[in-house]
Amino acid sequence: MDGPDLDRLFGRVEAAIGTRPRLAVALSGASTVAVMRLELPDGGSIVAKAGNGHLALERWMLDELSRDSSLPLPEVLHGADDLLLLSWIDSAGGAPDPAAEIHAAELLAALHTVPRAHFGYARDTVIGQLPQPNPPGDRWIPFFRDHRLLHMAVKGHEEGTVTTALRRRLETLAARIERYIDEPAHPALLHGDLWTGNVLHRGGRIVGLIDPAIYYGHPEIELAFTTLFGTFGEPFFRRYRELAPLADDFFEIRRDIYNIYPLLVHVRYWDTAYARPIEATLTRLGI
């Protein structure tokens, strides 16, 4: 973004917060919207997301998490359909160190052990830019089967990123899903998208969790996702187990079943090569 577009952005930011930025620096991780650090005249910075990308919904999700959790989150300075302004969080980059993993376990255990009224949510959300249906329900297994596993498989098949063969295998898994996963003690509020890039840390502490995809679900799906790209490891899970329940056999197969969902997101969003680990899990199950 440069020239007149950047001038227009700076004008909108000034109208929103009363200060005109002096410089914009592009940030990594953007896909359908521009994400940048805006330097202000006083030496401070804010984050701007600009474009057509569910930004008002992102603001709403951050507001929900802020109200209903103690997670460290960016402050929302302005939120509209095409412009979201957030406080800047200084972080170290890369995967969290063991001390930060332990802090993350404490934060997530505190989040997951608060009982919620139902699965789903008050409204549908998104993961990345993909719609994530959240109809309220009393049972986790049908919610995961219908509104996570099958929803993402069917939408991917309709657009051509999920093959007919893979869709049929996933439908077979869905028909047998009660063999493999259990109902949790209660619904839990989930951040929903805890890959490494959304976990900001500094000095052995978690200083920010960004880009939520919230809903009420089983903590195991959140915990599984943290292992998919190496966000958290042994220090995290050792501390989490001290504070919240985690079944001994979580790592045997349920983790891989739950990770089919974010892998399908990646199949649709980035590359059909992400289907390979899905197929490997299905093969392990004899499907």
User: What residues are annotated to the active site?
Assistant: 193
Residues 49 and 40: their CA atoms lie apart, in Å, by 16
Query: What SS3 class is residue 141?
Result: helix
Q: Which residue type is seen at 39? A: E
DSSP 33: S
Measure Cα distances from 89 to 45, 47, 66 in Å.
9, 9, 16
172-183: buried (b, 16+ CB within 10 Å) or exposed (e) per residue? ebbeebeeebee
Beta strands in the chain (DSSP E): 23-26, 34-39, 45-50, 76-80, 83-87, 125-127, 130-132, 188-190, 199-202, 205-209, 215-217
Measure Cα distances from 45 to 48, 139, 238, 245 in Å.
10, 44, 36, 40
Measure Cα distances from 27 to 1, 38, 49 in Å.
12, 10, 10
With beta carbons less than 8 A apart as the criterion, state whether 59 and 79 touch.
yes
